[in-house]
Amino acid sequence: MDHGAADHCGDSGSVERHSHHSEAVKGNLTSRLNRIEGQIRGIKAMIEKDTYCDDVLNQIAAVQSALNSVGKLLLEGHMKSCVIERIQAGEMEVVDELLVTVKKLMK
């Protein structure tokens, strides 16, 4: 069965695109996001307990770092799969799409 770019990233006429992460990658990302979710709940509890602000801020920095790591993994996978496939299919607009996304990530 041939799996072209349309199967992985959606065809160029499609409004909704999909990724094609392996089960191992999905598991890794889900695990990381579950930890981040727990950290967020921990920060909320810290605020409710009137924890010293510097301690809360350090936890916020840790969550931001963890989210950045998830973003980097997703960006790498996206560039190595969907972006390459779309460029090979002649869909050069993916470069502009990627640039907008990278700018958002770098804020």
Q: For 6-26, how does the pLDDT look when each residue is reduced to its tens digit (9 = 90+)? A: 344 544 444 477 777 889 999
CA-CA distance, 16 to 70, in Å (whole number)?
22
CA-CA distance, 80 to 19, in Å (whole number)?
12
Residue 70 CB partners (closer than 8 Å, separation 6+): 29, 32, 33, 36
Domain ranges in the chain are: 33-105
Q: What is the mean pLDDT of the chain?
A: 87
Fold designation for 33-105: Methane Monooxygenase Hydroxylase; Chain G, domain 1 (1.20.58)
What's the whole-model pTM score? 0.78
**Whether the predicted pLDDT of 35 surpasses 50:** yes
CA-CA distance, 33 to 63, in Å (whole number)?
10
Q: For 81-105, how does the pLDDT look when each residue is reduced to its tens digit (9 = 90+)? A: 999 999 999 999 999 999 999 999 9
